[in-house]
Amino acid sequence: MKGPGSASKVTYVTLAGNEEANAAYDRAVAAARGSLSLTYSNWIDGHPVGSSRPMDDDRSPIDTSVIVARFPKGTPADVSAALEGARRAFPAWSGRPWQERVAVLRRAAETISSRMTELAALMSIEVGKNRLEAMGDAEESADLLRYYCDQIESAGGFETPLARLLPGEDTRSVLRPHGVFAVVAPFNFPAALAAGMAGGALVAGNTVVFKPSSEAPLTGLRLYEILAEAGVPPGVFQFVTGGGRELGDAFLDERFDGIVFTGSKEVGLDLYRRFAKPWPKPVIVEMGGKNPAIVTRHADLEKAASGVARSAFGYGGQKCSACSRAYVAAEVYDEFVGRLAEAAGKMTIGDPTERTVYLGPVISAKAKATHQAALSEARRDGRIVFEGKVRDDAALARGHFVPPVIADRLPDGHRLWRDELFVPFLAVGRVASLDEALARANDTEYGLTAGIFSRDESEVRTFFDRIEAGVAYANRSTGATTGAWPGVQSFCGWKSSGSTGKGGCGPWYVQQFLREQSRTIVRDEPAP
């Protein structure tokens, strides 16, 4: 970790025993709670912009009586002004040597690392992440910026000499930025996904109009401030908050040159269909998953139970990579389900800023209602194998707390096998063979992540060859289907999980923000 002076990096699985990081986080939480309920602005062309409308209250899902911050309700006029400003800023930013853009973003990454615990504390309060998830999110955002800078550097700014047909010719392939990108970020990784999407666009030379999730605007503002402090010029990175269809439609303005979005399939597909006008433009959308884990009779069941439980219930299942389906060999089904319930039963529910708490609240009353509906349907149509307990506590009653749930005996084709829920709910099914498990795992419109637990190498090879998912894991006890890191796992969605087949965290991401130009110069040959 580069924050409180330790040499080790805090990821989503490396906080245990790091007393320095835990103490720094506790101090940061106390400081964050002392600066809540302030009023902030949008930022356009480097200037604060308010709104004539009533302000939006950004409330904590831990305790909805707590107002984290107040932000303007952005309007289509705000988006239009930000877009025009970004267009004006584009020539100078894209015209700077790529080495200068890289230097700016590397400074931002170092600032994020140095402020990791501050950002993590804010995320815990604003979106309900436990300290492990929140610190991992902050450090990943810094590493994403570093990794995308590495991609530009290793490619020499994406300028490549090509062959010659005639004497005197000099031809090169040059990747050039498109212009202005809309960047629309989700609540669940409010630092990492925002920084990754915006960083890919910026380091490539594009300018950005950034809209954070309306459930995480303050974390988004901190990213804006850090980039500005690092040297991103006014107008290059614009900041507009708000929500609703009217504001969302403003990001379909044909003056945008591209859009990058992470969120629901419904919104992502709508953007994909409606954005590209008057000609095709980059539409980079990541749209979630219904991610399966397969447990064969050759699995290490302790490792499998840990991996599935962590993946299904980490951050309340509010990850597009969360495991929501498990297909288990009949020979080990009962033992595995027992171990899985035992692992889930050890997950403490409560205020995620507390060190012993694993599972905080879901993000909203809507998410809580989704969980309650799934639980009711599972009781009616299947069997509840495990249901955690939210303690009867007045403080927890003010937040969006729900228990982890494991259900089985759901009929094939039931919506709980099919719909992405984004809550801590796992459906488990018994299978007779690996072939059946793979067929059921692939029977989904999504194709984001998948995992297998088996000590049989041939089963693992078969899984990798036949699974229809962009991110595949074998025997991962820290997360059956979760846990990507920049430069370690590419995070790419197939089918309805993504639009490009090239993932964030991976080696082909930055090129999506660029377009190719072939440049041929014919030089005069010297006279004989």
Name the one residue in this structure whose structure tokens are 């447990």.
295
Helices (H), 204-244: 217-230
Report the distance separating Cα 212 and Cα 192, nearest Å: 12
The verdict on whether 320 is a catalytic residue reads yes
Are 340 and 406 spatial neighbours (Cβ–Cβ below 8 Å)?
Answer: yes
Report the distance separating Cα 435 and Cα 414, nearest Å: 21
Catalytic residue among 126, 286, 420, 459, which?
286
Q: How far is CA 369 from CA 161, 266, 365, 415, in A?
A: 57, 19, 6, 16
Report the distance separating Cα 344 and Cα 313, nearest Å: 8
Question: What are 469's two structure tokens?
Answer: 């998912």
Catalytic residue among 320, 323, 492, 505, which?
320
Helix (H) or strand (E) holding 453: strand 449-453
Type of residue at 384: I
Report strand pairing: 446-447 vs 494-495: antiparallel
Contacts of 119 (CB under 8 A, 6+ apart): 112, 134, 137, 138, 141, 191, 219, 222
Partner residues linked to 425 by β-bridges: 405
Question: What are 144's two structure tokens?
Answer: 């994403």
Q: How far apart are the first and last CA of the chain?
A: 65
Between the CA atoms of 181, 186, 192 and 194, what dihedral angle is there, to the nearest 10 degrees?
Answer: 20
Contacts of 294 (CB under 8 A, 6+ apart): 326, 327, 328, 434, 437, 438, 441, 450, 451, 452, 453, 454, 463
3-state SS assignment for residue 149: helix
For 475-485, b/e burial (b = at least 16 CB within 10 A) is bbbbbbbbbbb
The verdict on whether 286 is a catalytic residue reads yes
- In total, the chain counts a number of residues equal to 528
Type of residue at 354: E
Are 15 and 197 spatial neighbours (Cβ–Cβ below 8 Å)?
Answer: no
Partner residues linked to 298 by β-bridges: none
Chain centre distance of CA 226: 19
Residues with a catalytic annotation lie at 286, 320
